[in-house]
Structure 1
Amino acid sequence: MNDVDLGTDRAHGARIYDYILGGKDNYAVDRAAAEATKRIWPALPVHMRANREFMHRAGRYLATECGIDQFLDIGTGIPTPPNLHEVVQEVRPDARIVYTDNDPIVLVHARALMAGSEQGRTAYVEADLRDPDTILSSPEFRETLDPNRPIGLMLIAVVHFIEDDDEALDVVRRIVDVLPSGSHLAATVATDDFAPEMLAEVRRTYHEHGETLRWRDLSQTERFFDGLELVDPGIVQMHKWRPDDDTYRQIPEADIAMYGAIARKP
């Protein structure tokens, strides 16, 4: 791993996320980006924790309510327990998970993502969402998941790193199109619908530190779910999607900059 370019000269969303969640796998540029963002938008930690909690709820819902026992998690991020396999294998010990990320730091720590249950299986693919063919043709994907059975596709806080709308929609559609009927897409999509002026400054700050960020409004978010059957309550701010308790009621809408939803492929 000594020759891996860790990209420490520019911020990376996965490492900013890690820093905000209290992790140690981040660099000065990531911490600077996070702190600069917090000065503009103090709710950043609340927002990022809500995103992680949505992933947990979505994973449990798919495993428990939908019977999904195999998952493709693209844009995994740095391992921060509980990870997806820990959540779903608690419900279905035989669940199989393929993790994917383009950050070499995640690759360095990928062993933490491999420690699943004895009955299940986990695998890791170093790849970018922009290159779905590499993901879908990888031995890790083909040997871990059965393409003829429903798959839970997790796109948690990742599509906003693709700034071109047509490209983002195209890569998501290319993946969804190869999934069998009964598969589900769970996604969070960054939006500035609830605090546009403040979040315009957040985007500028991300760009200044070398990271991309694209806000999308509700109508743009809906396009990622075209042709799919949205699960109740549909597309809502992610902390409002089937919350575990009433804590979400105390969070101002301006503190959450993501829509969240789950939809089934007919």
Structure 2
Amino acid sequence: MSDELIRPYEQRDGEPPVIDTSIAHSARVYDYVLGGKDNYPVDREAAEQMLNGWPQLRTSMQENRKFMHRAARYAAEQGLDQFIDIGTGIPTSPNLHEIVQAVTPSARVVYVDKDPIVFAHAAARLTGTPEGRISYLLADMGDPDAILGSPEVTGTLDLSRPVGLSVIAVLQFVLDAKAAYDLVRSYLDRLAPGSMLTITTVTSETSPVRAGTVTAEYTKRGLPVRDSTLADVEPFFEGLELVDPGVTLIHRWRPEPGTEGLVDDSEVAMYAGVARKP
């Protein structure tokens, strides 16, 4: 399954990963669009081309972050106190651990990303409460056995208890839909009942022409993206107990009071869902 994933750096046996900053990287593009500084000229150029084609991309990415905050807070309020964040991305505060530790100071989080640049920033910046614990793992999400069996995970989390699995804005880079479903299921099969799955992934259904220019630009830059319909996203949650309102656009999932209607459907390009493993 991991062969379906983009690889922004080359790993040679026995050598540190070689980071290629001559090509755009999805995490750094995301960082730039959100106003971050941890990106390179090639990332900024790619992001500007995407924004020229669809200016609402910034709104969509901002709403994706807000959804993550709400979903993480919800999971913590339901009693979950340990989390795995797959595809962490460059840190943008508040991060997942800040949200959940505000609810449960002793909460534990493992951040996982395969980009060594992301890993370096995460390890340098992400610090939690004295009661809680944070670990960082440089790994490809396409290898659930290696991730869940790693010392970073087993030494931080108790996998016999429920875990919050967060897979935010990365499944679109698994180009085969069946491989993506199988990948998520591989994680869930190893997690205890009561665990929760949180997903967001890309769609152009809300703005087929303009949002489609973003996926086209990603592909042009060597970062091919799989576009999903609502019907494509729903199978990720088969056999799970979906949390209301089910699979929906990111800004429509339990919006903060007073924010309803501030963002139009045409301004977002992500579906989201949260579900519990029975």
- TM-score class, shorter-chain normalisation, is over 0.9
The corresponding residue for 1:15 is 28
Q: Which residue of 2 aligns with 1:133?
A: 145
Please tell me the residue identity of whatever aligns with 1:252: D
Which residue in 2 is equivalent to 1:39?
A: 52
Q: Give the counterpart letter for 1:49 in structure 2.
A: Q
Moved more, 107-116 or 236-245: 107-116
Cα separation, 1, equivalents of 2:54 and 2:201: 18
**Candidates 25, 48, 69, aligned match of 2:38:** 25
Partner residue of 1:202? Answer: 214
Give the stretch that moved more between structures: 71-80 or 198-207.
Answer: 198-207
- The 8 Å contact of residues 114 and 123 in structure 1, kept in 2 or not, is answered as no
2:134 corresponds to 1:107: no
Q: What is the alpha-carbon distance in structure 2 between the residues aligned to residue 9 and residue 103 of structure 1?
A: 15
The answer for the alignment partner of 1:154 in structure 2 is: 166
Percent of aligned positions that are identical:
51
Contact 2:128 2:134 in 1 (8 A): yes
Q: Distance in 1 between matches of 2:162 and 2:75?
A: 11
CA contact (8 A) 1:69 1:151 kept: yes
Equivalent residue in structure 2 for 1:193, among 195, 201, 205: 205
Q: Does 2:246 align with 1:234?
A: yes
CA separation in 1, counterparts of 2:98 and 2:201?
23
Residue of structure 2 aligned with 1:88, choices 93, 96, 100: 100
Contact in 1 for aligned 2:91/2:126 (Cα 8 Å)? no
CA distance in 1, matches of 2:271, 2:260: 14
Q: CA deviation at 1:114?
A: 4.1
**Residue among 37, 44, 56 paired with 2:69:** 56
Unaligned runs of 5+ in 1: none
Q: Is the 8 A contact 1:113 1:122 kept in 2?
A: no
The residue type paired with residue 25 of structure 1 is D
Kindly indicate which of the two structures has a greater share of residues assigned to helix. Answer: 1
Assess if the C-alpha contact under 8 Å between 2:243 and 2:275 holds in 1. yes
Partner of 1:221: 233
- Distance in 2 (CA, whole Å) between partners of 1:25 and 1:146 is 33
1:63–1:92 contact (8 Å) kept in structure 2: yes
| Structure 1 residue 247: Cα displacement | 2.6
- Cα distance in 2 for partners of 1:200, 1:255 equals 12
The worse-fitting range, judged by mean Cα deviation, of 236-245 and 6-15 is: 6-15
* CA-atom RMSD in angstroms: 1.4
* Structure-1 separation of matches of 2:199 and 2:153: 20
Report SS of the residue matched to 1:187.
strand
What corresponds to 2:273 in structure 1?
Answer: 261
Aligned-pair CA distance for 1:245: 2.8
Residue identity in the other structure for 1:246: G
176-185 or 206-215: bigger deviation = 206-215
Partner of 1:122: 134
> Comparing 251-260 with 90-99, which one deviates more in the overlay?
251-260
Query: Could you tell me which residue of structure 2 aligns to residue 243 of structure 1?
Result: 255
Q: Distance in 2 between matches of 1:110 and 1:4?
A: 17
Alpha carbons 1:83, 1:113 under 8 Å: kept: no
TM-score scaled by structure 1? 0.96
Could you state the TM-score of these two structures normalised by the residue count of structure 2?
Answer: 0.92
SS in 2 for 1:8: coil
